[in-house]
Amino acid sequence: MFVNSLYFVISNELTSESIVSEIKINEQHAVFEGHFPGSPVMPGVVQLQIVKEILEAHLRRKLAMKTMRTCKFLEVLNPRENPNVRINIKYKQSEILDVVASGEAQGKVFFKMQASYL
């Protein structure tokens, strides 16, 4: 949905239960025209979608969120100030995929989440 238009994956560090992706945000993307003109802010739901897309690419399957245990948006993600963001994902796979993820750059943590996917 957003990969290679809103953001580009610069690098991935992978283990059997974690992904650390460095992404570059395209501040010219249309999502920022309405959120907000002249002062772009990455919508929270889009940050969560990026986590899902990175997981889907790594696991090579489509996912659907089952539950969101916690989700906190701690800092405003302005792509002009922080065009490069590190997405940290830890997951445990069984029938349900349990995920803990965060997004950060330059000492700022933008979001933290815990969710389960099918």
Q: Where are the domains of the chain?
A: 7-117
pLDDT digits (tens, 9 = 90+) for 42-89: 999 999 999 999 999 999 999 999 999 999 999 999 999 999 999 999
Side-chain half-sphere CA neighbours of 87 within 13 A: 29
Superfamily of domain 7-117: Hotdog Thioesterase (3.10.129.10)
pLDDT band at 102 (very low <50, low <70, confident <90, very high): very high
User: Model-level pTM greater than 0.85?
Assistant: yes
Q: Where are the beta strands (DSSP E) in 42-95?
A: 65-73, 84-93
Tokens of 12: 């991935």
